[in-house]
Amino acid sequence: MTGFVIPFFGLQRQYEKIKSELLDVTNNVLKSGTLMDGFYTNELQKYLSVRLGAYAITCHSCTQALEMVAIYIKQHTSRPKAFIPNFTYPATANAFINTGYDIELVDTNEFGIINFEKATGTADVGVVVGLFGKKPEVTNIHNNTRFKWLVYDGAQHWLSLTKKSHMGFATTISFDPTKNLSASGNGGAVITYDQGLFDFVNEYRNNGKPMFKQIGTNSRMSEIDCSHVLTRSRYIDEWQIKRQKIATYWNQQFKELPLKSLCDLSEPNAIQKFVIYSGERQALRNHLTIAGIETKITYDKPLSEMIAYKDYSNPTAFSTSYMLSKGVLALPIYPELHDNEIEYIADKVKEFYK
């Protein structure tokens, strides 16, 4: 339980609204006796494939989805190297390091999207993270010649993808409970147009079955998690429109304040967090905490400032990614927020700057 009047995540509120549906599908799974690789797994893969117009394979997490993509690409290169954005969650970098890649941490633009023009040399893989739900501008990325394979870590922005040009060689998905379309435990997926990658991941995630032509691992979603994602998928577009309305209102309320919104309002399905940049972050956060509003800092350090990545090539302390880490602050944004709470959050932010 949280002591905040307005918690950062709305999972308990969401559960109360769709509890009967979640419990019904949970009962269906347990009653069937098929807890893996059953009806709901197949239906979730069909849903993703139709929605995104590509092959879709579910797996245990977005991190493992990235790892499997990395392993497949590694089979086609002798000295694997990946460009990783310096401002992202460590799982993105870990997926490539754990599969034997050298990585270079590359600076970002002001929205936290990797800027390949600041990379040095070349790499096999360029990894783009749609940070905070910001849909990356694809034209310059796809025309870049510094790398051969383009991979999107789409954990935060995949719902906005509608075209083949937005997905690169592969896009990975997260169904973590903190994401907009979530499982009630772990879950992820690989999205691709490449038949070879699809076949590889489909076998690798299940220890090489059915032919056992390759070594693999166990990286599957449970039937219960798949059933919960499918249940929530009935509401996701409606929920995203509500998020867009909240973000639009806050942007209007904050437009005269000395802060910057990093939220992409052009596409409702791209909104995963409402992140602002403030030069007075800690004081603002303290003010909101006292008012009962829970906030999150995502993230307080770029990867280059973490001990685990000190030996990898990285930007300087004057980089854009470094500066972002000193001012980003996320406000709670979920469809279960009441109108008076949305107004209250806006009023408390404005109150601070008065």
User: pLDDT by residue (tens digit) across 91-108?
Assistant: 999 999 999 999 999 999
Residue 3 resides in a domain: no
User: Of residues 118 and 138, which shows the higher confidence score?
Assistant: 118
Q: Which domain holds residue 97?
A: 19-233
Out of 233, 264, 282, pick the residue that ends a domain: 233
* CATH number of the domain enclosing 187: 3.40.640.10
pLDDT beyond 50 at 84: yes
Per-residue confidence band for 346, with pLDDT thresholds at 50, 70 and 90: very high
Residue 11 resides in a domain: no
Per-residue confidence band for 139, with pLDDT thresholds at 50, 70 and 90: low
Contact partners, residue 290, CB within 8 Å, separation at least 6? none
Residues 52, 29: Cα–Cα separation, whole Å: 26
The predicted pLDDT at position 141 comes to: 72
The predicted pLDDT at position 1 comes to: 41
pLDDT tens digits along 295-341 = 999 999 999 999 999 999 888 877 999 999 999 999 999 999 999 99
Average pLDDT over residues 7-26: 97
pLDDT tens digits along 158-199 = 998 877 767 899 999 999 999 999 999 999 999 999 999 999
Residue 5 resides in a domain: no
| 229 plus 298 within the same structural domain | no
The predicted pLDDT at position 161 comes to: 87
Q: Which of 13-17, 155-159, 316-320 has the highest mean pLDDT?
A: 13-17
The predicted pLDDT at position 138 comes to: 63
Domain count, the chain: 2
Percent of the chain with pLDDT over 70: 97
The predicted pLDDT at position 140 comes to: 62
Long-range Cβ contacts of 238-246 (<8 Å, 24+ apart): 238/335, 239/180, 239/334, 239/335, 240/159, 240/180, 240/268, 240/269, 240/271, 241/268, 242/335, 243/180, 243/268, 243/271, 243/333, 243/334, 243/335, 244/268, 244/271, 246/274, 246/333, 246/337, 246/342
Residue 212 resides in a domain: yes
* CATH number of the domain enclosing 321: 3.90.1150.10
Bridge-based pairing of strands 81-85 and 102-106 is: parallel
pLDDT beyond 80 at 58: yes
Per-residue confidence band for 4, with pLDDT thresholds at 50, 70 and 90: confident
Out of 208, 233, 258, pick the residue that ends a domain: 233
Per-residue confidence band for 142, with pLDDT thresholds at 50, 70 and 90: low
pTM: 0.94
